[in-house]
Amino acid sequence: MTDLFAAARALVEPSKGLLAADESTPTAAKRLAAYGIASSPELRRQFRDLFLSMEGVERYLSGVILYEETFAQKGSDGKLFPDSLEARGIAPGIKVDEGTEPFPGSAEELITKGLVGLPERLAAFKKGGAVFTKWRAVIRIEGDALPTAAAVLENAKRLASYAKEAQVAGLVPIVEPEVLLAGKHSRARSQAVIQETLATLFSALAAQGVDLGGLLLKTAMARSGDASAHKDASEEVAAATLEALVASVPREVAGIVFLSGGESPDEATANLAAITREARRVEAPWPLTFSYARALQEEALALWKGKAENVEAARAAFRARLEKVQAALVSSP
């Protein structure tokens, strides 16, 4: 377990964070299509290479969450992506959930699958160089009706089973119960749902005997829904987020990383800076950092357009965003 503790702590080392490059094939196709780029195994390889092979990326990233297709592909240096990352001191991670399916108990909610055959898949990824893993559940807010307690509980139980299996396999689990941004809900409702979801998750993790010192939490920020008329200030998001986390996350957890959830790159950066300041103010016990996909990649994708001649400009935009997000981690009042 000592190795897992060290690996988990290294992922949240000061001034560095995670790139979530683990979009499944359908999600990657959607992200590429938004910028007029076709999706094929080779174009998805180039999409990953744009970010993973950027010179000096190790100054910003402690780890990268990969998708299974990318895990078996090679970068422009001719090395398998996990080997190439490892050689530059970046921990390779792997998304091991297999997406969602309708929850039988509630037709409008989703449950994450992937427990069947999980030990074998974890062993194979460990052999291939993975240091950590991730499993994402999605929690939808709809007025006071959703989420249902049953869907939150079932997702929490599966997250906990996955986390236990990951630790048995010698891999750090990242548990990601994503409370979605979509909807008209208030910031207070988001805060309450995040708090309840995390409290349920940490009860399930305790029931499975998961060691929290070798685990990271990936969470959304507490904020008004994207269809709400209210626009939160970053300081409001930070206060609500820290209140929810302090009320529900045990201090033994190795670290907390944030998803961007559809926030713009500037919003996700400003909110992270405010969260960093608020965490210092309330003396939060865990290291905090980013684990963004869209907020780190969007600007570069818009410039790249799938063309080799645009790689340099796209990487410059990626580097500029990483600089800003890194600065947010050491932001002063």
Binding site for ligand 5MM (CB under 6 A): 20, 22-24, 27, 65, 99, 136, 178, 259-261, 292-295
Task: Give the nearer residue to ligand 5MM in terms of CB position, either 3 or 27.
Answer: 27
Kindly report the number of other CB atoms within 10 A of residue 308's CB atom.
8
Query: Which lies closer to ligand 5MM via its Cβ, residue 102 or residue 209?
Result: 102
Nearest distance, CB of residue 219 and ligand 5MM, angstroms: 10
Active site residue 176: yes
Minimal distance, residue 27 CB to ligand 5MM, in Å: 3
Contact 140, 108 (CB under 8 A): yes
Choosing from 23, 176, 267, 299, the catalytic residue is 176
How far CA 89 is from CA of 7, 104, 120, 168, 247, in Å, comes to 12, 43, 26, 24, 34
Q: Which is nearer to ligand 5MM, 97 or 196 (CB)?
A: 97
CB 17 to ligand 5MM: min, Å: 11
First-to-last C-alpha distance (Å) of the chain: 38
Q: Which is nearer to ligand 5MM, 22 or 299 (CB)?
A: 22
Listed residue (236, 243, 234, 222) closest to 180, CA to CA: 222
Distance CA 77, CA 79 (A): 6
Give phi and psi for 152, each to the nearest 5: -65, -45
Query: Catalytic one among 218, 263, 267, 298?
Result: 218
Which of 260, 251, 278, 257 minimizes the C-alpha distance to 176?
257
23 is a catalytic site residue: no
C-beta of 295: minimal distance to ligand 5MM in Å?
A: 6
Active site residues: 176, 218
